[in-house]
């Protein structure tokens, strides 16, 4: 049976790279494995795939009962394939909290509190004495640069920095130059609709009784986004109504200056004020030094709502 390997919905560079890399690992271990994606490839990931001449994974349309799957870069059911309950999860490689995840039987689960799933996969290659090709090194490096915003995110660990340092040699790129080019390739918002901006990198979290949607955009020009605030608010309010979210926050992160500006809507909007000690003005606020959804936004809002 072919193992199906995929990351989360609204795939980012770590999720796409890790699915491709994990399937390379499985094949080197002698297993039949195929990488899939749960959504469209974003501009940043496209840049990385093109640079290293790697074909994008196929779109996963559905799972069959009893399919064996490997999850990368996520575990929470609501971030996974729609019919994930049909499948048997045999492995997970992840660097997020564990929640809304349950199996019937034992499995291989490898999570580490590092900045990027690819950093863990880089260790798995070594532990199993497998070969890292230039292409796979390039994808892992791209994933680390993306998730750590070139090591500026507080999620960055020594292990991510060391892994990137090893991988840049195999990938044959200048880390800083390639990294900035890749991040900028994903940072333009002009050719995107409001719906694309609020759903491109968005995840849903169950916090106690509340359902919270947190979207994030990495940009080099924050104003370019907020000039479209009314258009964005209309799109967000439509999503809140459709999905009954208690809170929707759009985190617009300035990747050059390591700050974010938040747009918060929904009946629990004031939890954002408590979470970050700010006052919303036109539903927005500057979040000084905030760049990480996982390490800064999710824990603070979770606390504010509890």
Binding residues: 8, 12, 14, 73, 95, 147
Cβ-proximal residues to 226 (8 Å cutoff; 6+ apart), any chain: 252, 261, 263, 284
Q: Which of 46, 229, 295, 304 binds a second copy (CB under 8 A)?
A: 295
The dihedrals phi and psi of 70, each to the nearest 5 degrees, come to -120, 125
Q: Which of 134, 154, 299, 304 binds a second copy (CB under 8 A)?
A: 299
Which span sits near a second copy by CB under 8 A: 17-25, 111-119, 232-240, 255-263? 111-119
Which span sits near a second copy by CB under 8 A: 63-71, 99-107, 177-185, 261-269? 99-107
Minimum CB distance to a second copy smaller for 108 or for 169: 108
Kindly state whether residue 203 participates in binding a second copy, applying the rule CB under 8 A. no
Kindly state whether residue 99 participates in binding a second copy, applying the rule CB under 8 A. yes
CB atoms within 10 A of CB 116: 32
Please give the radius of gyration of the chain, using alpha carbons only, rounded to the nearest integer.
19
Q: Which of 40, 50, 82, 103 binds a second copy (CB under 8 A)?
A: 103
**The CA-based dihedral angle spanning residues 151, 156, 159, 162, taken in that order and rounded to the nearest 10 degrees:** 10
CB atoms within 10 A of CB 127: 7
Minimum CB distance to a second copy smaller for 113 or for 289: 113
Kindly state whether residue 134 participates in binding a second copy, applying the rule CB under 8 A. no
The CA-CA-CA angle for residues 117, 121, 126, to 5°, reads 150
Q: Which of 29, 107, 234, 238 binds a second copy (CB under 8 A)?
A: 107
Minimum CB distance to a second copy smaller for 39 or for 299: 299
Say whether 304 sits in a helix, a strand or coil.
Answer: helix
Please check whether residue 132 is in contact with residue 170, taking contact to mean a CB–CB distance below 8 angstroms.
Answer: yes
Place of tokens 């034992």: 106
Residues 32-71, one symbol each (x = binds a second copy by CB under 8 A, - = not), give: ----------------------------------------
Minimum separation from the CB atom of position 248 to a second copy (A): 21
Taking the mean position of all CA atoms in its chain, how far away is CA 44? 12
Residues 79-98, one symbol each (x = binds a second copy by CB under 8 A, - = not), give: -----------x----xxxx
Kindly state whether residue 101 participates in binding a second copy, applying the rule CB under 8 A. yes
CB atoms within 10 A of CB 264: 25
Looking at the DSSP bridge assignments, the partners of residue 244 are none
Binding residues for Mn(2+), as ranges, are 8, 12, 14, 73, 95, 147
Please check whether residue 254 is in contact with residue 220, taking contact to mean a CB–CB distance below 8 angstroms.
Answer: yes
How far apart CA 297 and CA 96 sit, in angstroms, is 13
Kindly state whether residue 29 participates in binding a second copy, applying the rule CB under 8 A. no
Binding site for a second copy (CB under 8 A): 90, 95-113, 127, 294-295, 299, 302
């Amino acid at each position: 049976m072919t193992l199906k390997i995929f990351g989360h919905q609204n795939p980012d560079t770590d999720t796409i790279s890790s699915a491709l890399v994990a399937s390379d690992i499985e094949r080197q271990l002698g297993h039949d494995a195929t990488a899939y994606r749960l959504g469209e490839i974003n501009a940043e990931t496209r840049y990385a795939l093109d640079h290293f001449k790697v074909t994008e994974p196929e779109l996963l349309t559905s799972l069959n009962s009893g399919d064996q799957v490997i999850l990368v870069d996520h575990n929470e059911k609501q971030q996974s394939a729609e019919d994930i309950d049909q499948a048997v999860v045999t492995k997970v490689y992840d660097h997020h909290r564990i929640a809304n995840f349950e199996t019937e039987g034992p499995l291989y689960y490898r999570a580490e509190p590092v900045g990027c799933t690819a950093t863990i996969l880089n260790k798995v290659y070594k532990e199993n004495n497998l070969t890292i090709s230039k292409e796979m090194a390039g994808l892992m490096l791209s994933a680390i640069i993306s998730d750590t915003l070139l090591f500026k995110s507080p999620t960055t660990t020594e292990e991510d920095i060391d892994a990137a340092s090893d991988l840049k040699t195999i990938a044959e790129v200048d880390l800083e130059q390639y990294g900035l080019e890749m991040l900028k390739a994903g940072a333009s918002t002009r050719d995107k609709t409001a719906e694309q901006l609020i759903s491109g990198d968005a995840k849903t979290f169950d916090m106690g009784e509340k359902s919270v949607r947190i979207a994030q955009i990495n940009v080099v020009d924050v104003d370019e986004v907020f000039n479209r605030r009314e258009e964005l608010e209309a799109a967000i309010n439509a999503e809140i109504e459709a999905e009954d979210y208690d809170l929707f926050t759009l985190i617009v992160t300035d990747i050059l200056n390591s700050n974010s500006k938040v747009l918060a809507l929904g009946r629990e909007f004031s939890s954002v004020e408590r979470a970050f000690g700010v006052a919303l003005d036109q539903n927005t606020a500057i979040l000084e030094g905030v760049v990480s959804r996982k390490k800064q936004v999710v824990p603070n809002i979770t606390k504010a709502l509890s």
